[in-house]
Amino acid sequence: MTDMTIDGILRLAIWCDGEIVDPAHAVVSVWDHGLLYGDGVFEGIRIRDGRLYRPHHHLARLRGSARAIALEIPFDDAALLAGIAATARANGLREAHVRVVVTRGVGLPGIDPRRCARATTLIMAYPFPPLLGSAPVTLITSSVARKSPRSVPSRVKSLSYLDSVLAKVQANAAGAGDALMLDGNGLVAEATGANVFAVHGTVLRTPPTTSSLAGITRGTILELAAGAGLEPRVEPLEPGDLYTADEAFLTGTGAGIVAVAAIDGRPLPTAPGRYTTALDAAYRATWADPAYTVAIDDLDGAA
Ligand SMILES: Cc1ncc(COP(=O)(O)O)c(C=O)c1O
């Protein structure tokens, strides 16, 4: 299967708590606190040409997310990696987005996580074209503030994406490609499912992860910046820093590197600009690099 339709997705085999199951049995209980309270964490990882991208970075972030919400993942990294390989293989996928989901598990209704004896762990692998398309995107600044680090720690990639969903509703209503989200102080946080970068001259800026996810793609771009002739800086950005940028782009596992065409009706001078193009090429060159990727055939894919 190479396309992504809902009928196609519903035919995929899923890894559920250690076993590959056919779609009819890939079900989560209605009493799972992941559904009832958004109580859980997840990761999104790419497989490209049969190679899993920065798996140890993604699993480390998953474990950090889980620790931050006091959730124990009942599988070690080797089991999760084998599960990812088995899921891709069961569906004949060498290009896929992989979702590893760990919910609080099944428990009596009531917020207390102690009601759930064991986490539910799921792995899905499915075809997924770039989240925001490949053309430069227009952004609006959303009035929905990004989750505060005083509520949900920004390092937690949790099952609760309602702030992003609400910002996306605004972007849709405005006819924009995506929304730029600010933190509670009006500083730039990130887009609904991607980090944001601005280029001024030869300086590349992205906000700290106080109110945004520590994106794996973001980290890779910061590593690659010097090679593209840019000085990377992690520092607070105001919306005005984006309005006045020479170039701006978004980064994410789902989105890839996407140039920003305009923000709140203010066009950027170039989209994609020369540095965005250079960084995109450098990023793509890492996709086949053994320093960044592991072949799924080298992982123990026995279900
Ligand atoms: C809210 C949010 N910010 C940023 C990102 C980018 O992170 P990564 O590069 O690890 O995919 C994502 C996930 O893709 C996300 O959901």
- Summarised one tens digit per residue, pLDDT across range 8-53 is 899 999 999 999 999 889 999 999 999 999 999 999 999 999 999 9
User: Is 215 near ligand 1, meaning CB less than 6 Å away?
Assistant: yes
Mind listing the pLDDT tens digit for each residue in 64-115?
Answer: 999 999 999 999 999 999 999 999 999 999 999 999 999 999 999 999 999 9
Report d(CA 15, CA 4) in Å as an integer: 19
Q: Is 206 helix (H, G, I), strand (E, B) or coil?
A: strand
What is the predicted pLDDT for the residue at 43? 98
Q: Whole-model pTM?
A: 0.96
User: Is 216 near ligand 1, meaning CB less than 6 Å away?
Assistant: yes
Q: How many CA atoms lie within 13 A of 200 on its CB side?
A: 10
What is the predicted pLDDT for the residue at 148? 92
Q: Is 86 helix (H, G, I), strand (E, B) or coil?
A: helix
User: Is 206 near ligand 1, meaning CB less than 6 Å away?
Assistant: no
Q: Give, as one character, the DSSP assignment of residue 211.
A: S
User: Is 189 near ligand 1, meaning CB less than 6 Å away?
Assistant: no
Q: Categorize the per-residue pLDDT at 245 as very low, low, confident or very high, splitting at 50, 70 and 90.
A: very high
Mutation probe of ligand 1 site: the residue of 154, 157, 192, 250 with most atoms within 8 A of C-beta: 157
User: Is 232 near ligand 1, meaning CB less than 6 Å away?
Assistant: no
